[in-house]
Amino acid sequence: MRVTLVQPCLGRRVGEPTIRSWQMEPLAPAVLAALTPHDVDLSFHDDRMVPVPFDEPTDLVALSVETYTARRAYQIASEYRKRGVPVVMGGFHATLVPDEVARYAEAVVVGEAEELWPRVVDDARSGRLQPLYQSPGRPSLAGVSPDRSLFAGKRYLSVALAEAGRGCRFGCEFCAVQTFFGRSRSWRPVDEVVAEVRGLAKPLVFFVDDNIAADLDRAKELLAALVPLKIRWVSQASLDAAHDEEFLALARASGCQGLLVGFETLEPSELARMNKTFNAQNGGYAEALANLRRHRIRLYATFLFGYDGQGPGAFRETLAFALHHKFYLAAFNHVTPFPGTPLYGRLEREGRLLFDRWWLDPGYRYGMLPFTPEGPSALSAQEVADRCVEARSAFFGVGSILRRALDFQVNCASPFMGASFLGINYLMRREVLQRRGLPLGDEGFRGPLLPVDGAAPERPAGSAG
């Protein structure tokens, strides 16, 4: 049996190559490869890097779909299905809106793949592929290590992706993680994570955990086990971890070079709307930032705009805050309502969504705010999008980059991260405008999306507002 795994790209303009600045090895296909029976002939194509060879013989195609890549995934599925090849889709988007995904795939995997993918392959091999595969609970993550042989010969960034656990205990209104995992968390055995990391040859490991500090006791167990490896690693963590001295000390000792932390907003009232008041606990930002700086842990600070009550002043104050604290990196993004999240449900009930399904609408472009902000000082959707770009441009301006590079206490405290600082900030500066207005899916795709159920080919719904 021949199985093809495809990693869909975000979008592509006609006549232009796919944006390649941040292409890291995708972990989901490597996990599927590890779960695939050894007698299956497996191939992998990364749509972000090379054209997908649709005419290459195969018996089954599998795609892991995110909301931003859904349109492109359906295009890819249509191409294969026109050739009589069945398609299976999983990933976050398939769990958030399985009925939509089922229109473009013979089989949909809802939830995590560990217990389901071997069944999918076996059913496809025997000609009895089912339309829906859904696990009744969280699977064990023990015994599965990604098969990175898929990536041989491909030019990815020198960052190895690894996973210690999944899920987060917090219920932020805008976050799809809580919808997918139900605010639960699962972990891989620490000895298996350590064994995998020991075999990685790249200079930096990125733990892709949704929140590596979601359970501080387990996090400390992992970090203590990583100390002898003398690696460099980065990950994502909630700000509450910055108030735990033991966690910070172990993070530093185990090689932590930086953490992505969602600050989101400087306003306590906005944190309450986001259901993220834990950011303001234990002394709030000032205490947390002082602790992180003392342990020389660099930050990729993220901020969100577009919430009700945010006016022009929110952008000025947030940018000043980010510049003052000399963050290694910072993101100034509008909030995005992902399907299945409490935020999406609220905006839908209030009639404020500007598109029926923004991720499929041909009128939507990357960087657009897909809903109408409200409040006495609220900006328009277009103004929010424009001011996010302005904040990014200012933070990644040449002067800002040079001033932050002079932070030898944290940002450039080591030769490795100092050298990386200029390169990463340059890439971020270049992408400020590069992704803006990018269509979702391949703009050069010809023909409608091909549905599974035999109905007339469907073009995505147009703008609803």
Q: Are 165 and 187 in contact (CB under 8 A)?
A: yes
pLDDT value, residue 153: 87
Count of Cβ atoms closer than 10 Å to residue 74 Cβ:
30
State pLDDT tens for residues 419-439: 999 989 998 988 887 788 899
- For the cut 60, the answer to whether the pLDDT of residue 455 exceeds it is no
Count of Cβ atoms closer than 10 Å to residue 95 Cβ:
21
State pLDDT tens for residues 261-280: 999 999 999 999 999 999 98
Q: Among 17-21, 335-339, 384-388, which stretch is predicted with the lowest mean pLDDT?
A: 17-21
Angstrom distance (rounded) from CA 60 to CA 89: 11
The residue-averaged pLDDT of 22-31 equals 90
Count of Cβ atoms closer than 10 Å to residue 67 Cβ:
22
Q: Which residue has the tokens 């033991």?
A: 246
Angstrom distance (rounded) from CA 322 to CA 335: 18
CA 194 to each of CA 159, 163, 185, 214: distance values in angstroms, whole numbers, following the listed order:
17, 11, 19, 19
- For the cut 60, the answer to whether the pLDDT of residue 70 exceeds it is yes
pLDDT value, residue 121: 97
Stretch (H or E) spanning 5: strand 2-7
Angstrom distance (rounded) from CA 178 to CA 167: 7
pLDDT band at 464 (very low <50, low <70, confident <90, very high): very low
pLDDT band at 458 (very low <50, low <70, confident <90, very high): low
pLDDT band at 14 (very low <50, low <70, confident <90, very high): confident
State pLDDT tens for residues 100-138: 999 999 999 999 999 999 999 999 999 999 999 998 888
pLDDT: is 170 or 465 the higher one? 170
Q: Among 103-112, 292-301, 449-458, which stretch is predicted with the lowest mean pLDDT?
A: 449-458
The residue-averaged pLDDT of 289-315 equals 94
The residue-averaged pLDDT of 147-159 equals 91
Q: Name the pairing type of β-strands 41-46 and 11-12.
A: unpaired
Q: Are 162 and 197 in contact (CB under 8 A)?
A: yes
- For the cut 60, the answer to whether the pLDDT of residue 462 exceeds it is no
Q: Are 160 and 208 in contact (CB under 8 A)?
A: no
- In terms of phi and psi (left: phi > 0; alpha: psi -120 to 50; beta: otherwise), the region of 367 is left
Stretch (H or E) spanning 401: helix 398-405
Stretch (H or E) spanning 166: strand 165-167
User: 398 in helix, strand or coil?
Assistant: helix
pLDDT band at 375 (very low <50, low <70, confident <90, very high): confident
Percentage of the chain exceeding pLDDT 90: 80
pLDDT value, residue 281: 87
The residue-averaged pLDDT of 27-48 equals 95
Q: Are 53 and 61 in contact (CB under 8 A)?
A: no
Backbone angles phi, psi at 198, to 5 degrees: -60, -30
Where are the alpha helices (H) located in 38-189, listed in sequence order?
70-82, 92-96, 98-101, 117-125, 177-181
Backbone angles phi, psi at 439, to 5 degrees: -70, 150
DSSP conformational letter for 62: E
The residue-averaged pLDDT of 328-340 equals 96
Distance of CA 121 to the CA centre of its chain: 26
State pLDDT tens for residues 172-228: 999 999 888 888 899 999 999 999 999 998 999 999 999 999 999 999 999 999 999
pLDDT value, residue 457: 53
pLDDT value, residue 93: 96
Q: Are 47 and 441 in contact (CB under 8 A)?
A: no
DSSP-based helix, strand, coil % in the chain, nearest 5: 35, 15, 45
Backbone angles phi, psi at 61, to 5 degrees: -120, 135
Is 379 exposed, middle or buried (CB count within 10 Å of its CB: 0-12, 13-18, 19+)?
Answer: buried
Q: Which domains does the chain have, with CATH numbers?
A: 2-135 (3.40.50.280), 152-434 (3.80.30.20)
pLDDT band at 448 (very low <50, low <70, confident <90, very high): confident
C-alpha dihedral, 373 to 375 to 377 to 382, nearest 10°? 10
- For the cut 90, the answer to whether the pLDDT of residue 16 exceeds it is no
Amino acid at 108: V
- For the cut 50, the answer to whether the pLDDT of residue 460 exceeds it is no
pLDDT value, residue 201: 87
Q: Are 295 and 409 in contact (CB under 8 A)?
A: no
Average pLDDT score over the chain: 92
